[in-house]
Amino acid sequence: MPTIETVPQKPVVSVIIPAKNEEASLGACLESLVGQSGVACEIIAVDDHSTDRTREIASSFPEVKVVEAGPLPDGWTGKNNAVTAGVREATGEWLLFTDADTVHVPGSLGRALKEAEENQADMLSYSPEQIAVTFWEMATLPVVFAELARQYPPSKVSDPNSPDAAANGQYILIRREAYDAVGGHAAIAGEILEDVALARAVKASGRTIRFRYGADAVRTRMYRNYAQLRDGWTKNLALLFPHPGLLAWKSLLLWLLPWIVLALAVAGVLKETWWGPMLVACLLYLAGRIRRANFATDMTILGALFGMPMFAYLLLRSKRAHAKGTVPWKGRVYSDKGGLVVPGH
């Protein structure tokens, strides 16, 4: 009896994961991706000069194609170089750029593709559910993401008539045609904040972005200790907010307000009949400001009590680093004007 050859289905989506020293998280990420159903996809992991078990872990998944990022060209950031190496191998009609520290809900890729097509979006980006474990993660992340939601309202980003553009690099699904038309990551090669830069290029070209909170699709733990959290937000915050210094002092003053009320009450300056309601009103305002970040109540409280001064510190640290013109990240030091300063492969 003649054998029947099965022809592999052409992928609709090419999933590209840049990975530099991601042995702690890559396995869970790839496991969640190879288990996706409902859409034909290929998975490409790009080893960005890792010195740990990243490549070994990626190669342990037969369904995953592992490629090397290759030498880092002048004027490029490591991530932009890595994802571009992945794109060269991609054959899908859509590209999904996702980070190695993400975990994808079963069936989410098929649902995301359907959502993009139903909304006629050329780019769909989710802001993942943020997993926080350590004290400073739990205190700081609610404040950061609340302020990001204020700066980049998803409703405006998703509105074709609004100039606002943003994306979260942890999950960007984009039509290959649109990606190529705007020049891809090669056109933003030196951008440290490559996700927002790509979104701006897409929207400037007249194409449509859909951006929303995506806890139903993907979750991530961005940083696993205080040092990673500090360095990661130092790299990004001054680029995410147009006036980081002003926002830092505003955040600090808002945080100080209830403590000032309490101090004046203890000193007997404020009358007993109204300092209590004033204190409660101040605390409720802080909690309400942070609540929009989609974190649990206990983390919202931690953010109000401890996260706001930490956010102010990180804003000022980020502003200072960018003012100096050099920003360290993952063993490399980047110029504030784009590209590598200190070699790190």
The structural domains of the chain, with segments of one domain joined by +, span: 13-128+168-224, 240-339
Q: What is the pLDDT of residues 156-205, one digit of tens each?
A: 999 999 999 999 999 999 999 999 999 999 999 999 999 999 999 999 99
| Rounded distance between C-alpha atoms, residue 170 and residue 223, angstroms | 13
Structure tokens at 5: 């050859």
| Rounded distance between C-alpha atoms, residue 6 and residue 149, angstroms | 47
Query: What is the model's pTM?
Result: 0.91
First to last CA, the chain: 55
Sheet containing 326-329, strands listed edge to edge, beginning at the edge strand earlier in sequence: 326-329, 332-335, 340-342
Give the total residue count for the chain: 345
Rounded mean pLDDT of the chain? Answer: 91
Domain with residues 13-128+168-224, CATH architecture: Alpha-Beta Complex (3.90)
The SS3 of residue 343 is coil
For CA atoms 104, 105, 111, 116, the dihedral sign is negative
**Tens digits of pLDDT across the chain (345 residues):** 444 344 457 899 999 999 999 999 999 999 999 999 989 999 999 999 999 999 999 999 999 999 999 999 988 999 999 999 999 999 999 999 999 999 999 999 999 999 999 999 999 999 999 999 999 999 999 999 999 999 999 999 999 999 999 999 999 999 999 999 999 999 999 999 999 999 999 999 999 999 999 999 999 999 989 999 999 999 999 999 999 999 999 999 999 988 887 787 777 776 666 677 777 787 888 888 898 888 999 999 899 889 999 999 999 999 999 998 888 877 778 776 555 555 555
Bridge partner list, 17: 45
- pLDDT for 340 equals 53
- pLDDT for 342 equals 53
Closest CA to 220 of 232, 209, 202: 232
Residue type, 340: L
